[in-house]
Chain A
Amino acid sequence: MTYRITPIAGIAALTLAAGAAHAEGELNIYNWGNYTSPEMIEKFEQEFDVDVTVTDYDSNDTALAKLKAGGHGFDIVVPSGNYVPIFIEEGVLMKSNPNEMENFGNVAQRWVDVEFDPGREYTVPWQWGTVGVSVNTSVYDGDINTAGLIFDPPEELQGKINVIPEMNDVMGSAIHYMGGEQCTTDREVLRQVRDKLVEAKPHWLSMAYGNIERLANEDIAATLNWNGASMRARLQNEDIAFGYPQTGYSIWMDNAAITADAQNVENAKLFLNFIMEPENAAMLSNFARYANGIEGSEEFMDDVMAEAPEINTPEELADAGYISKNCPPEAQKIYSQIWTELTK
């Protein structure tokens, strides 16, 4: 039945789509899903008369594979800090010198000279956050600033724990919990880490994303989590609190950069400069619910953001944070083995 109409409709539609519109100015952004404020994009489009297209990816690795293969058509990409050196080494980013741009002065001091892009020759801050523990305080009322909730779970939490399936974050957390440093290749430490993880796994309900809903619904009572996600869960269920593990928690930053084979370099540069404007950076934060690393953006942010304990790290726990970095292949190899063992 339906198939009688498809030939004409299908071919017509395809022809239409193939000859897509060519606006004067174009910009193709390749970003994490649900991460780009539509309002901010609209503002950019109007200000510069540029047609912006946003396309999504769901992991740094997918993005890297696609950029490396070529022929993708993307101008802007937003890799995480620990992936930036890889992206640079693999030659998929353009040295666009954002540090010479007009708005660069707005970048907060701590985010100017970052290890993953010293002096910011390639990237500008997009959003940053932390990896900690979200806990339902009506289920567990002890100290929440410890990764022990995940790796040595107290009775109340057992069987109600989730862990995000991010190898770097989980390994980092576990290594610090066992007294090591991120990217360690110390075999003794790693053996303990493996044993600890394998021992803890039966107490975990799942290793999955999408924990905002599940926290709010109380399907899970604790999870290794990103701070922004934890805040969103708290807005739906006030019992959810975010703990910063004292043994060490990782700090990540996603960064916008221009791709090496960008077609619309000028527009891409305009865009990088644009998102370093406090008001625009605040639009990003209000949408994605993370901090942005741009000085002066706070005053444009929603109240829930400005006051959130998830976004504003408590003074006394600030030192426990470490900036997540890319581990060398030797470490990665061992971590892979542990991770396969853990997730099998």
Chain B
Amino acid sequence: MARSFDVTRQPGFTMIAIACFVLLYLPIILLVAYSFNAGQSISQWEGFSLRWYVSAWDNEQIQDATIRSVIIALGASLIATSAAVLAALATTRTTPWRGQTVAFALINQPLMVPEIVTAVSLLIFFSMIKVWTGYTGLWYLVIAHAAFCIPFAYMPIRARLQGMDLNLEQAGADLYGTPIKVFRHITLPQLWPGILAGGMLAFVISLDDVVITEFVKSAGQDTLPTYMLGQLRRNITPEINAISTALLAISVLLVTAFFFMSRTRK
């Protein structure tokens, strides 16, 4: 070994990690490639063309669905992550308390119930509210998504909290006094990776949801997944690839920009 002994090294781990990244990106590369296909197909290459970008640009239904998906995912992940941070603070590092099991069961409940079941019960329940109140807006979807996003946001945050050093907080409590200050200046900075992980998971989970959305949506509330589900039994065109690629490009650009901005500020 040329270098000195590396304590972090584990045999084969880097190889597996690289294999993992390759596996993750292969389908994405294909997806991007076919968005430039000249032919009708999402699986037969017929030359380079931008026609699907043009047609996606002209397709109002696809655009509306895409924007709606992002709005719902942003709203739901924000709500779910905030609620999950609070819940994680309440349920970590405490002595056993009454109602603990119930709280855990509730938080994890969306994970345990298959989507279709929640979907049917929500259809019945929300429809009653819709008929009763006359309000049929997007909030039903946001709340429904927030609910099943909570456990996904909660898990990494809780895992992070469990691994954190209690002494710092204790010292902080001695110095600053108020719990809110301790939280802001000590807990939150340490917790941030967990929050970020939880938030990202929640966002992604919301973005992917098909079944619950399909059942809860009212008129004019198709998201990208439900729009695609509707196409599933007929035919899917590379329009979907084009819009996905565009979304991907936009989010990568945004994230990169923020990444560098936050870096230079530091």
Residues of A that sit less than 8 Å from B by CB: 1-7, 9-11, 13-14, 17-18, 20, 28, 30, 32-35, 38, 53-58, 62, 65-66, 69-75, 164, 209-210, 212-213, 216-217, 229, 232, 236
> How extensive is the interface on chain B, given as a class?
35 or more
**Complex: chain A residue closest to B139, CB-CB:** A18
* Least CB distance, A57 to chain B, in whole angstroms: 6
Measured CA separation A54–B80 after assembly (Å): 30
Contact status B262-A3, CB under 8 Å: no
Contact of A28 among B71, B199, B220 (CB under 8 A): B220
List of A residues within 8 angstroms of B98 by Cβ: none
Q: A35-B234, A56-B226, A62-B214 are in contact. Are A10 and B71 (CB under 8 A)?
A: yes
Interface residues in B60-106 (C-beta closer than 8 Å to A):
60-61, 68, 70-71, 74-75, 77-78, 81
Contact status A1-B235, CB under 8 Å: no
Contact status B217-A55, CB under 8 Å: yes
Contact status A2-B255, CB under 8 Å: yes
Contact status A236-B258, CB under 8 Å: no
Contact status B127-A34, CB under 8 Å: no
List of B residues within 8 angstroms of A3 by Cβ: 78, 81, 195-196, 199
Contact of B130 among A11, A53, A70 (CB under 8 A): A70
Contact status A58-B258, CB under 8 Å: no
A-B contact pairs, 26 of them (CB 8 A): A1-B259, A9-B74, A10-B78, A13-B70, A14-B71, A14-B138, A17-B68, A32-B230, A33-B227, A33-B230, A33-B233, A34-B231, A34-B235, A54-B61, A55-B222, A56-B226, A56-B227, A56-B229, A58-B214, A58-B230, A65-B120, A69-B127, A69-B128, A71-B126, A71-B130, A72-B130
Measured CA separation A74–B217 after assembly (Å): 11
Contact status A210-B41, CB under 8 Å: no
> B124 in the interface, Cβ–Cβ < 8 Å?
yes
> B219 in the interface, Cβ–Cβ < 8 Å?
yes
Q: A3-B196, A28-B219 are in contact. Are A18 and B235 (CB under 8 A)?
A: no
Contact status A13-B75, CB under 8 Å: yes
List of A residues within 8 angstroms of B68 by Cβ: 17
Contact status B75-A14, CB under 8 Å: yes
Contact of A33 among B129, B137, B231 (CB under 8 A): B231
Contact status B142-A14, CB under 8 Å: yes
Chain B interface, >50% SS class:
helix
**Complex: chain B residue closest to A3, CB-CB:** B199
Contact of B235 among A28, A53, A213 (CB under 8 A): A213
Measured CA separation A4–B218 after assembly (Å): 31
Contact of A210 among B40, B196, B217, B232 (CB under 8 A): B232
List of A residues within 8 angstroms of B222 by Cβ: 55-56
Measured CA separation A13–B249 after assembly (Å): 21
Measured CA separation A32–B226 after assembly (Å): 11
* Least CB distance, B247 to chain A, in whole angstroms: 14
Besides the known contacts A13-B74, A71-B130, A71-B131, 14 further A-B residue pairs in the complex with CB atoms under 8 A apart: A1-B196, A2-B254, A3-B196, A14-B142, A17-B137, A28-B220, A55-B222, A56-B230, A56-B231, A58-B229, A70-B127, A73-B218, A229-B235, A236-B40
Measured CA separation A281–B76 after assembly (Å): 41
Measured CA separation A4–B71 after assembly (Å): 16
Contact status B81-A53, CB under 8 Å: no
Contact status A57-B230, CB under 8 Å: yes
Contact status B234-A32, CB under 8 Å: yes
Contact status B124-A53, CB under 8 Å: no
List of A residues within 8 angstroms of B218 by Cβ: 71-73
List of B residues within 8 angstroms of A6 by Cβ: 74, 77-78, 199
Q: A1-B262, A5-B258, A71-B126 are in contact. Are A210 and B233 (CB under 8 A)?
A: yes
Contact status A73-B234, CB under 8 Å: no
List of A residues within 8 angstroms of B75 by Cβ: 10-11, 13-14
* Least CB distance, B207 to chain A, in whole angstroms: 13
> B136 in the interface, Cβ–Cβ < 8 Å?
yes
- Kindly name the residue among A13, A55, A73, A75 whose own CB sees the greatest number of chain B CB atoms within 10 A: A55
* Least CB distance, B119 to chain A, in whole angstroms: 10
List of A residues within 8 angstroms of B137 by Cβ: 17-18, 20
Interface residues in B35-68 (C-beta closer than 8 Å to A):
40-44, 59-61, 68
**Complex: chain A residue closest to B226, CB-CB:** A56
> B236 in the interface, Cβ–Cβ < 8 Å?
yes
Contact status B258-A2, CB under 8 Å: yes
**Complex: chain B residue closest to A9, CB-CB:** B74
* Least CB distance, A284 to chain B, in whole angstroms: 14
Interface residues in B202-217 (C-beta closer than 8 Å to A):
214-215, 217
List of B residues within 8 angstroms of A17 by Cβ: 68, 71, 137-138
> B123 in the interface, Cβ–Cβ < 8 Å?
yes
* Least CB distance, A55 to chain B, in whole angstroms: 5
List of B residues within 8 angstroms of A35 by Cβ: 234
> B221 in the interface, Cβ–Cβ < 8 Å?
yes
